[in-house]
Amino acid sequence: MSSDPVPDVPLLAGMGGVNSTESHSVHFGRKAIIISRDKNTHEFSSLAQTMGIEVVDVVVQKGKPNSKTYLGTGKLQQISEELRMAGQGHHWQNVDLLLIHSNLKSSQLVNINDLTSVESWDRVRLLLELFTIHASSVEAKIQVRIARLLADRSILRELINREHTGERLGFGAGGQTGWSNVMTAVSHEIAKLRRKLKKLDSSLSERRRQRAKSGALTVGLAGYTNVGKSSLFSSLSGKPVLIKNQLFSTLETTVGRMANQPRILMVDTIGFIDNVPAELLDSFSATLQESLSCDMLLLLVDASDEPEEIRRKLATSRRELFGRLDDGNSNNTLVVLTKIDLCTDEQLREAKEIVHFYSSFESSLVSSVTGQGIDELRASVMTMLHGPPIKINIYAPKDDGDMGLVELVSRVYRETLVIGVEENSNQTKISGWMDKANIARLMKDHPNQIQISI
Ligand SMILES: Nc1nc2c(ncn2[C@@H]2O[C@H](COP(=O)(O)OP(=O)(O)OP(=O)(O)O)[C@@H](O)[C@H]2O)c(=O)[nH]1
Ligand SMILES: [Mg+2]
């Protein structure tokens, strides 16, 4: 892989475009206030905390968002004044960031910045900053940077427009020609990064083609962020990946073989969240496509969530998934309720009810921590991909050249996902799933000693 994309232009601070030199690159340890029209700011707050930002207060102003400034101008001025005055002992002391609990229009962000002179992020910018920190592959880094530049470009457009109309004269570091130059540089960089991404995309789809040609079947893991996709991926494949109690730990795709089933590949990838801005989703579409173009999908639902949260996250996941599928594929979906070790029986019953109310898919219960339900899930995956299990009768050697029973049984064991065994002195019956190509080879190698039945 080549090195990281080299930034050509500075990113704008806080999307308010106050001054490009103000841009912080480290947010860990910063203090922020959340500003919201809605009381439920839990998820928004978690996103900030995932980045190491301390949310010291939540200011809620009920009512319809103001089309120009989201909150009323009076309220914003009051917040800005109080921030300036917040001295020793005030819990707003050292707050240098306003987090606005909504996806705002560029004009609203610029207005808020002008009114408060404090770095302000809306939900889009918060996600972009978080993704920037978590992106580790070259591809993810390019995807996030494109999305950031697109967001900055819409702010720049707003700034240029205002300076044109004289609305914001003398404000900011750019000046009309200054901003126009930055805008040109941003557009050039976007074009350059898109070309790079296209090259990477084609090598990704080449890898996908190769996998399909090899006859391997793929199982995608999909679901809301933090639902437990990477944990389940590790349990099923035995391959260690990054698992963290934070939102969007995973931004790139990892492929691993299912344990005992080398020709079944598991695909772990980015999670979903409500109201993702289009520019962010678009830049991740190749990554999402990777899990969507699988032979089978596991749609994960966190059973330990509150019922309301289960409903909301399930709805988002379904919308993101099935809105994107070319279709036909949605039949091959299995809902997996995760984190069942954290649930009471009553919670599990309710979670299952919700899933069945909203979807017609079969569901499976697992805990990646205790391993509960993992074998059963493997069996369900195999049944969906290969049909019901088969019975393999293995006979003791009769003629010269036949293989010893123990040796032949251990070969079958190696190539089968075993669910049952019956043994007697001259015959062993194994039931389970075996890859079609392996069955053919086994029968060819040992025609007198192997008999397959359903
Ligand atoms: N108790 C319990 N915790 C779990 C289980 N599965 C995952 N977790 C925890 O849930 C958190 C998120 O797990 P991940 O596997 O990283 O979730 P993810 O869906 O990959 O998350 P993102 O990549 O951030 O979207 C971690 O703290 C895990 O340890 C489970 O079965 N039981
Ligand atoms: Mg993950």
CATH assignment, 215-386:
3.40.50.300
Is any atom of ligand 1 closer than 6 Å to the C-beta of 228?
yes
Distance (Å) from CA 283 to ligand 1 centroid: 25
Neighbours of 191 (CB within 10 A): 10
Q: What pLDDT is stored for residue 252 in this prediction? A: 85
Q: Which residues pair with 99 in a beta bridge?
A: 34, 121
Give the number of the atom of ligand 1 that is nearest the alpha carbon of residue 221: 19
326 pLDDT above the threshold of 80? no
Q: Which residues pair with 333 in a beta bridge?
A: 297
* Chain mean pLDDT for the chain: 86
13-193 matches 390-453 in fold = no
Give the CB-side neighbour count of residue 145, counting CA atoms within 13 A: 26
The pTM of the full predicted model, rounded to 2 decimals, is: 0.85
9 pLDDT above the threshold of 50? no
Which ligand minimizes its atom distance to the CA of 254? 2
Neighbours of 426 (CB within 10 A): 11
Is any atom of ligand 1 closer than 6 Å to the C-beta of 253?
no
The predicted-structure confidence for 421-435, as pLDDT tens digits, reads as follows 999 888 999 999 888
The answer to whether 251 and 270 have CB atoms below 8 angstroms apart is: yes
Which ligand minimizes its atom distance to the CA of 243? 1
The answer to whether 147 and 251 have CB atoms below 8 angstroms apart is: no
4 pLDDT above the threshold of 50? no
Section 400-405 average pLDDT: 90
Q: What pLDDT is stored for residue 5 in this prediction? A: 41
Radius of gyration of the chain (CA): 27
Q: Which residues pair with 395 in a beta bridge?
A: 427
The CATH number of 13-193, from 3.30.390.30, 3.40.50.11060, 3.40.50.2000, 3.40.50.720, is 3.40.50.11060
- Ligand 1 pocket test, candidate residues 136, 230, 287, 367, most atoms within 8 A of CB: 230
1 pLDDT above the threshold of 50? no
34 pLDDT above the threshold of 70? yes
pLDDT band at 177 (very low <50, low <70, confident <90, very high): low
Q: What pLDDT is stored for residue 169 in this prediction? A: 46
Section 74-78 average pLDDT: 93
State whether residue 290 is helix, strand or coil.
helix
Tell me the one-letter amino acid at 49. Q
Is any atom of ligand 1 closer than 6 Å to the C-beta of 341?
yes
390-453 maps to CATH 1.25.40: no
Distance (Å) from CA 190 to ligand 2 centroid: 27
* Domain map (residue ranges) of the chain: 13-193, 215-386, 390-453
Is any atom of ligand 1 closer than 6 Å to the C-beta of 230?
yes
Give the number of the atom of ligand 1 that is nearest the alpha carbon of residue 248: 24
Helix orientation angle between 123-134 and 42-50, rounded to the nearest 10 degrees: 30
